[in-house]
Structure 1
């Protein structure tokens, strides 16, 4: 098992890992995703464990169900996704570091490789972009373009 400074949300049983330095918008994006029907997995710290070739994110017990909202403090408890499978990694970064037409990227942990995208968490469209990227990673889009056209792991 590994512990990461990250956040994670799930749509159904499919989870996304949000990576980025402090202030990059992880918790802000989680808050907006919760308002659009996603479920909290973990905020601030994510415990990842490999199981049968998949990665399963969870919250450390002390943080389970809690979300830090800048300006409001620690909120919760929120309902949590139980035993989701990690399907996508979003690297949160400044808009200037996100290419218009990205090359395929991957992120690997515990011997499991997952598709990865770059995302500016504070864009109004960030929740929709994350949902589209998850659908593409799951093969639910017709003819995926851009980062997923070259066949992600």
Structure 2
């Protein structure tokens, strides 16, 4: 299955970034990459189920490339495939300040979901979520 999404890997955890064109998917990925994440795929992500895991990878034609609006297509060290740990949907509307747990169905599996528009602190919060998890 292929989705219109950007994916990064931080350690062994993958983050699938969904949202409409111009919502900040690549910007969020670039910010996470600046703090140590690796680029799995930009713009399109291939997904497959492997037992109880969803594995994200990059279509070969896009491997190691990410778009930076106003700058162009940039080269990046490719990462992945990676097991998805989290999904963020930048086009799902504003999220609550302290939201209830939500999930996003991918190939019959529910993955943890964060919703809301791009915000300046989002990359730092998602990085910490991938590294440390959610308390409540």
TM-score, normalised to structure 1's length?
0.82
Aligned residue number for residue 6 of structure 2 = 7
| Partner SS, residue 97 of structure 1 | coil
Aligned residue number for residue 52 of structure 1 = 51
Name stretches of at least 5 consecutive residues in structure 1 with no aligned partner.
146-153
Whether contact under 8 Å (1:120, 1:126) holds in the other structure is no
Distance across 2 between alignment mates of 1:120 and 1:36: 20
Name stretches of at least 5 consecutive residues in structure 2 with no aligned partner.
none
Whether contact under 8 Å (1:119, 1:126) holds in the other structure is no
Deviation of 1:124 after TM superposition, in Å, equals 2.0
Is it true that 1:130 corresponds to 2:126 in the alignment?
yes
Residues 93-113 of structure 1: CA distance to partner in whole angstroms, max 9, x if unpaired?
48x622112121101111221
Distance across 2 between alignment mates of 1:80 and 1:24: 23
Deviation of 1:114 after TM superposition, in Å, equals 0.8
**How many pairs align?**
136
Distance across 1 between alignment mates of 2:37 and 2:132: 17
Whether contact under 8 Å (1:50, 1:56) holds in the other structure is yes
Over alpha carbons, which structure has the higher Rg?
1
Whether contact under 8 Å (1:13, 1:81) holds in the other structure is no
| Partner SS, residue 34 of structure 1 | helix
Greater RCO structure (CA 8 Å; 6+ sep): 2
Aligned residue number for residue 149 of structure 1 = none
| Partner SS, residue 23 of structure 1 | coil
Aligned residue number for residue 97 of structure 2 = 100
Where do 4+ consecutive residues of structure 1 move more than 4 Å? none
Residues 4-27 of structure 1: CA distance to partner in whole angstroms, max 9, x if unpaired?
000000101210000000011000
